Amino acid sequence: MKLWIKAFKNEKIILNVLKTDDLTLSAERLDTLLREICDKHDLPIPIITQTNAKNLLAFNHTKFKQCDFLEKINFDYMEISRYK
C-alpha cells in the first residue's frame, strides 16, 4: 500500500509525504503511520476513527480538519490518498 499524506495551508502544500507499507490497512495501522510522519515533521496527530479507515479503503481518500485534532493546527487540513 502507498499512502500520500499532504497538509495544506492557504491552498498550498506544506507537507508532502509518500509512505509505502506492505501491511494491511486498518485504523490502528493508519494511526501508527500518521504518528511516525507527524512526529518526524513536528505536526499535531489527528484522531483516527474507523470512519477514516473505511473512507480510505472505500474511496482511497480521507481528510482531517481542525475538529479531528486535539491540538490547534497550523495548517488548514490534512488529507491522505491511497494508491494500490
Residues 30-42: tens digit of each pLDDT: 888 889 999 999 9
Confidence of residue 28 (pLDDT cuts 50, 70, 90): confident
E strand spans, the chain: 2-9, 12-20, 61-64, 77-83
Q: pLDDT (tens digit, 9 = 90+) per residue, 30-74?
A: 888 889 999 999 999 999 888 888 898 899 999 999 999 999 999
Asked if 15 contacts 78 with a C-beta cutoff of 8 angstroms, the reply is yes
